[in-house]
Amino acid sequence: MNRATYLICIACAMPLFAQTEVTIPDTLSGQEFHLVLQNGNFQFQEGIDSETMGVNGPVLGPTLIMEQGQFADISVENQLGEPTTIHWHGLHVSAENDGGPHTVIHPGETWNPQFTVLDKAGTYWYHPHLHEHTDEHVSKGLSGFIIVKDDEEAALELPRTYGVDDFPLVIQTKSINPTGEIVAHTNSDTELMVNAVMDPRLVVPEQVVRFRLLNGSSQRVFNFGLSNNQSFHMIASDGGLLNVSVELTRLMLAPGERAEILVDFALTTGSTTSLLSYAAELQNGIYGAAQPGMMSMQSLDGYNPNPLNGSDFEVMRFEIVDPTVNAVTTIVSNLASDTPLTESESDITRQFTLTPEVMGPNSINGDFLINGSYFDMETINEVIPLNNIEVWSITNQSPIAHPFHIHDVQFYVLDRNGVPPAPTEQGRKDVVLVKPMETVRFITKFEDFANPTVPFMYHCHMLTHEDAGMMGQFIVVDPLATNSNLAGLIPTVVTLGPAYPNPFNPTTTIRYDLPTRSAVTLGVYDITGRTITILADTHQPAGAYSIHWNGTNDLGNPVSTGMYFCRLEAGDYSKTIKMVYLK
Ligand code: C2O
Ligand code: CU
Ligand code: CU
């Protein structure tokens, strides 16, 4: 990139500007987490109010500290006055707890996901996932960190004093118009911030310091490095520790990706140094490079002018102070002993092709499709048998790089255009940047959670692309369960079978079949027609289902003995059966 821009950008890093101390988010820990989604007011720029959204505050949210193996009981109260969802990005949780677009939290409602933390120690995050509104809600400020701890990580000599030598840093660019309004779905993200602070400065001790970097931007890819070109060590990727630390001078991070790095400030000469994004070195075809498309005639609406595109710029300034007592002074090299899955173990390869909706020079402006389709809430794109080990092969046939993300699982990158990944990409990941005309293959195992009705998502983590439909969904089904629609068991007609046992006490099982995906209501009524409980009220894919009723009403109280009716409504079909509850 041209030298003039470089010099101007370095100039703004000089002490002409008063820099603001970076805010380190509060932490929540223990078994219960209370999150309140709220509207707020926040001054990113002094004197200019922006209407924001935050978690337990006006912008961003607390860091949730979780221990592997613990039970997490989370309440998410929506005081925004509009619907949203909260997704635990990177955590391996069941589809019902995942917070995808099907799990809407309506205004005034509280959602209560509960799960056991199965993940490895690492840096994860939470953010909204409402279909077509993810960019708006994230840009307005909804997101926070999740730090998982485990015994393997605890045994290593790593910095882990939160806010002292271990810092979560979410780096974001936003578009904020002169009146302070945060604009979503735009390519004019000129405002750079770390933990919602612009022109940020962080006081760090003169020792080994750990940064948990999260690219929380809607679209921008960063190419991190230190101002003096000092090397640093990457110790963890999206899903936890790398097996060995990797010495680097540059680290590219795409939207949604995390990396933990160690910087030895004892090696730094002088009392300040900076974290930069060496965006002038980004190859064309990546959002953040001089050219976001592969060819010069391919440009994004509103992309230029933007001083961040294709120029090196300062992300934050470090001010180095005296070391702490018990400072970590060495870089651990052997971190973990994680065994990646290998291709020979795979059951199937699935192909995903990313294409622009229109061809030609304007194709870079999207929309973008996955396997030729837009996201449709009612379409399940992939049905995956529980415990399948799968290779996913992602081919980008568009002129811009897309960060591909999958829910439910962490994966291992097998190769990029047939070449094994760099050491930084050999660990557990949940986002991978797929460059133009590139094929990235990864391998993963769909274990622990099956649910024939609630899907998981896969999508581009450029939020503008995701909101415009660059997303698909999969269900994980248990071939051994009665509600599986695999094994050639797709029914041909809708049926509601008799309840069994009947009469019953304490529980009866109601079975029904769906030949196609339908809107389903399954209710229990008393002999006067009063609703006792609704057992299902959702869209369900084709399949054979069995649902249990334990003789309680919708408040969970036991009903009196006697006769009840169960009615299934599925599309045009409806049928009612009798059940007798005995004491
Ligand atoms: Cu971070 Cu489906 O998202
Ligand atoms: Cu996710
Ligand atoms: Cu994309």
pLDDT tens figures, 407-426: 999 999 999 999 999 999 99
Q: Which residue, by CA, sits nearest to atom 1 of ligand 1?
A: 89
d(CA 286, ligand 3 centre) in Å: 10
Burial of 69 from C-beta contacts in 10 A (0-12 / 13-18 / 19+) = exposed
List the one residue out of 348, 343, 392 whose CA is nearest residue 371: 392
Q: Which residue, by CA, sits nearest to atom 3 of ligand 1?
A: 89
Looking at 248-257, 341-350, 501-510, which range is the least confident one?
501-510
Ligand 1 atom at minimal distance to the Cα of residue 431: 1
d(CA 467, ligand 1 centre) in Å: 11
d(CA 56, ligand 1 centre) in Å: 21
Yes or no: say if 160 and 185 are a contact pair by the CB < 8 Å rule.
Answer: no
Q: Can you give the pLDDT at residue 210?
A: 98
Residues 6 or more apart from 339 whose CB is under 8 A from it?
none
Ligand approaching nearest to the C-alpha of 138: 1
pLDDT at 2 over 80: no
Ligand 1 atom at minimal distance to the Cα of residue 459: 2
Ligand 1 atom at minimal distance to the Cα of residue 457: 2
**Block residue for tokens 């990580």:** 153
Ligand 1 atom at minimal distance to the Cα of residue 407: 2
Q: How many CB atoms sit inside 10 A of residue 230's CB?
A: 15
Taking only the tens place, the pLDDT of each residue in 350-404 is 999 999 999 888 899 999 999 999 999 999 999 999 999 999 999 999 999 999 9
236-248 burial: b if 16+ Cβ within 10 Å, else e: bbbbbbbbbbbeb
d(CA 470, ligand 3 centre) in Å: 7
Ligand 1 atom at minimal distance to the Cα of residue 471: 2
Q: Can you give the pLDDT at residue 502?
A: 87
One-letter-per-residue 3-state SS of 311-344:
CEEEEEEEEEECCCCCCCCCCCCECCCCCCCCHH
Q: How many CB atoms sit inside 10 A of residue 92's CB?
A: 22
d(CA 398, ligand 2 centre) in Å: 23
Percent of the chain with pLDDT over 90: 81
pLDDT band (50, 70, 90) for residue 583: confident
Instruction: Report cis status (omega within 30 of 0) of the bond before 159.
Output: no
pLDDT at 543 over 80: no
Yes or no: say if 408 and 502 are a contact pair by the CB < 8 Å rule.
Answer: no
3-state SS class at 408: coil
3-state SS class at 9: helix
Mean pLDDT on 122-146:
98
Ligand approaching nearest to the C-alpha of 91: 2
Neighbours of ion ligand 3 (CB under 5 A): 402, 460, 462, 465
Residues flanking ligand 1, CB < 6 Å: 87, 89, 127, 129, 256, 405, 407, 457, 459, 461
Handedness of CA 281, 287, 291, 295 (dihedral sign): positive
Query: Do strands 63-67 and 144-149 pair parallel, antiparallel, or not at all (unpaired)?
Result: parallel
Taking only the tens place, the pLDDT of each residue in 428-483 is 999 999 999 999 999 999 999 999 999 999 999 999 999 999 999 999 998 777 55
pLDDT at 508 over 80: yes
d(CA 321, ligand 1 centre) in Å: 37
Ligand approaching nearest to the C-alpha of 101: 1
Q: Is the pTM of this model over 0.85?
A: no
d(CA 460, ligand 1 centre) in Å: 9
Name the DSSP class of 197: B
pLDDT at 16 over 50: no
Ligand approaching nearest to the C-alpha of 404: 3
Ligand 1 atom at minimal distance to the Cα of residue 89: 1
d(CA 216, ligand 2 centre) in Å: 12
Q: Can you give the pLDDT at residue 1?
A: 31
3-state SS class at 148: strand
How many angstroms separate the CA atoms of 491 and 543, rounded? 6
Yes or no: say if 343 and 445 are a contact pair by the CB < 8 Å rule.
Answer: no
3-state SS class at 358: coil
Run of H or E residues at 240: strand 240-248
Mean pLDDT on 79-107:
98
Ligand 1 atom at minimal distance to the Cα of residue 100: 2
